[in-house]
Amino acid sequence: MKAILLSLLSFCTGLFAQEPDTYAYVTLPAETFLARLEADPSIQLVDVRTPKEYAAGKIRDAVNIDVRDSLFTQNATQQLDKARPVAVYCKGGVRSRQAARQLSALGFQVYNLDKGYDSVKP
């Protein structure tokens, strides 16, 4: 019985002892995100949705780099300047967090739009 409890405790400790998210990006609510874009014209705005979603509506001046494309990091590295901040968004916030993690791992300073394009009234 004691061995079973120790095994269970060890298993549970392993589940919760995962390394924290070490990626450095900032998630901002819509109002703050848009204000940051207005205040800093050097920010590169990236819509990480599909080209079809992008064509249906976007935030002004955004470029489209689809995070689900297998060449996302390659495309981002080719199209974006690491010396300038990057702001990312998607429809609801999930894909942009994925993009923010990947871009920050590449050395970009990244702002992520919390709750995505759906939270913005263009």
Query: pLDDT, tens digit, for every residue of 86-119?
Result: 999 999 999 999 999 999 999 999 999 999 999 9
* pLDDT band of 13, cuts 50, 70, 90: very low
* pLDDT band of 121, cuts 50, 70, 90: low
The residues, any chain, with a CB within 8 Å of residue 99's CB and separated by 6 or more, are: 46, 48, 65, 67, 72, 76, 88, 90, 112
* pLDDT band of 1, cuts 50, 70, 90: low
Percent of the chain with pLDDT over 70: 80
**What's this model's pTM, rounded to 2 decimal places?**
0.81
Query: What integer pLDDT is reported at residue 73 of this predicted model?
Result: 97
CA distance 77 to 106: 8
Reported as half-sphere exposure (CB side, CA atoms, 13 A), residue 112 has a value of: 23
Short-list 63, 118, 62, 121, CA closest to 93? 118
Query: Identity (one letter) of the amino acid at 67?
Result: V
Strands 110-113 and 86-89, how do they pair?
parallel
Query: What integer pLDDT is reported at residue 61 of this predicted model?
Result: 95
Residue spans per domain, the chain: 20-119
Instruction: Provide the CATH number for the domain formed by 20-119 in this structure.
Output: 3.40.250.10
pLDDT exceeds cutoff 70 at 39: yes
Short-list 84, 72, 30, 32, CA closest to 48? 72
Query: What integer pLDDT is reported at residue 110 of this predicted model?
Result: 98
